A and B are shown apart, each in its own frame.
Chain A
Amino acid sequence: MNNRIVLERVSAGYGAVTVLHDVSLEVREGELVALLGMNGNGKSTLLNCILGFVRPTSGRILMEWGGRVTDLTAMRPHDIVNLGIGAVPEGRRLVPTLSVEDNLSLAGGVRRGRGSPAETLAFCYETFPILRERRRQAAGTLSGGQQQMLAIARALMTAPRFMVVDEPSVGLAPIVVDQVIDAVKQLQTARGMTILMAEQSFFQAVEVAARAYVLSHGRIIRTVEQGRELADGEEIRRTMMGMA
């Protein structure tokens, strides 16, 4: 079983502007992989390609799972989600006027044949007790950290095999960042979830990720395997910042 998500030489952009150039990467089952890069280097575009919100101009995105290969490149976003790719998107994309529980049941309402929604809901509340406490509250009234937790829980409700997490720490207080990153890490260690997480904060990400890709000006300029990162950390961080 070589379950994995693969990007093969993916290029993408908006109109005449190319944002991603020939990006190839893979995330294997059970891995937590970080996608590092400063703002505007193509992290969100790459994740949006996987989710079907941005169409690659060339290249392929494949899901190889359970002996089946599915080409995601031309699929619509909701079909991709229902195939087992959970999304924690940029800006969280919650429905602010719906309650916490309504946001969750919206995502759990489609039959996907991978576990029962009620069980997943119980698991979400177990993972994030604050969400159970606030389940009748409108999502828009939650704090930033709680909203991020809700966005993660909503992705879990779609019964994913693989999760795409876009900058979970953005706009959060440092102590909350730790909580959220820990929660993502927990999903991998305790649930065996496969995760691709975009992050700007280098040290946060390499602490939890098995591998990391560094994206700069739409190209992968470096792949970091765990164990080497501490020695190279400062240098990689400088590369990312464009200082090296």
Chain B
Amino acid sequence: MMLIDLAANALASGAALGSIYALLAMGLAITFGLLHVPNVAHPAIVVAGAYAVALANGYGADPLLAALLLTVPFYVLGLGFYTFYSRAFELRGRGNSLQSLTLFFGVALVIEIGLVIAFGTDLRSVSVPYVGQSLSVGFVTLPYRFLVPALVTPAVILALWLYLTRTHGGLALRAVAHDERALSISGIDPSSVKRHAFGLATALAVLAGAALIITGPVDPFTDRSLLGRVFAVVVLAGLGSIPGTLVAAVLIGVAEAFVTTFVSPSWAPGVAFAILLGTLGLRPSGLFGASR
């Protein structure tokens, strides 16, 4: 009985955790998965988003509502960021991974240091009425601070999926990943599609930031512990698969929760990579990636 109890709780909290990981990875699934831009600054942007949400929360705004409004300035920020990136690298034919990687690492550092200068290194959190309370069903107890942000992910994925499959802009975004020239021939400017995609990914980062800071306190260096996990989720899902991102993230979340419960919490950070390596050995294109 005790064992089932533990397992059920691990499953519930792991699924919730995984759902939050999926939200953290969503922007990267677009920039890295679809555009092949190795945006290692994504977790740092998520953390910056979390700070923006915390700031708004200081004035009494609900974190999720604040994040929804903040998607607009973050989208614009993403457009600017991509314009800079493509002028500096891609258009000059220097879009190789190593140089872009260096640029994005630099950006991540600048964001971290910017946050330290502006807010100090203390942990920040948001205050919402449901933090500290839990939902209990039978012998499963799940804190609302996990449950609420976990429920945001399916909604975001549904919206994103509808956008990608039902709209012209979404079609263009799926096409740009395969062949930019196919877009040009269709009369569409591939660089404007990529710019828009980057804006979208940055807007998703602020939603993820809200989820992150509702889950627990955040400091300027939180992005570092997220980076590996978030890349593992995107690669495990298979580059470019949006629904796959949720499945991969939940898989990792549940596995981590089980390892934490039954083995030791200190092993948990290795779980994502163990699953990733195991899967890539069998399916090099990831769980849902199209084999090329």
Question: Closest residue to B168 on the A side, CB-wise?
Answer: A109
Which residues on A are within 8 Å of B, measured CB to CB?
Answer: 51-53, 76-78, 81-82, 87, 89, 93-98, 102, 105-107, 109-110, 112, 154-155, 157-158
A93 near B185: Cβ-Cβ < 8 Å: yes
- Return the CB mask of B163-201 against A: 1 if under 8 Å, else 0: 000001001101100110111111111100000000000
> Restricting to B214-245, which residues have a CB under 8 Å from any CB of A?
none
CB-CB under 8 A from A78, the residues of chain B are 183-184, 186-190
* Contact status of A76 and B189, CB under 8 A, knowing A97-B290, A98-B174, A106-B171: yes
* Interface residues in chain B, defined as those with a beta carbon under 8 Å from any beta carbon in chain A: 168, 171-172, 174-175, 178-179, 181-190, 290
Nearest chain A CB to B47 CB, angstrom units: 33
Give the shortest distance, in Å, between B152 (CB) and chain A (any CB). Answer: 28
Cβ contact of B187, chosen from A82, A95, A97, A105, cutoff 8 A? A82
Which residues of A are found within 8 Å of B185, using beta-carbon distances? 51, 77, 81, 87, 89, 93, 107, 154-155, 158
Q: How far is the CA of A109 from the CA of B187 in the complex (A)?
A: 9
A109 and B178 form a contact (CB under 8 A):
no
Chain B's nearest CB lies how many Å from the CB of A109? 4
| Contact B174 A97, beta carbon cutoff 8 Å | yes
Q: Which residue of B lies closest to A107 (CB)?
A: B186
Residues from chain A with a CB closer than 8 A to the CB of B182 are 93-95, 106
B174 touches A95 (CB 8 A): yes
Q: Which residues of A contact B168 (CB under 8 A)?
A: 105-106, 109
- Give 30 pairs: A residue, B residue, CB < 8 Å, sorted on A: A51-B185, A53-B184, A76-B189, A77-B185, A78-B186, A78-B189, A81-B186, A82-B187, A89-B181, A93-B181, A93-B182, A94-B179, A94-B182, A95-B174, A95-B175, A95-B179, A95-B182, A96-B178, A97-B174, A97-B290, A98-B171, A105-B168, A106-B175, A107-B185, A107-B187, A109-B172, A109-B186, A154-B185, A155-B185, A158-B187
Give complex CA distance A155, B4 in Å: 61
Known: A106-B168, A109-B168. A97 touches B188 (CB 8 A): no
Q: Which residues of A contact B178 (CB under 8 A)?
A: 95-97
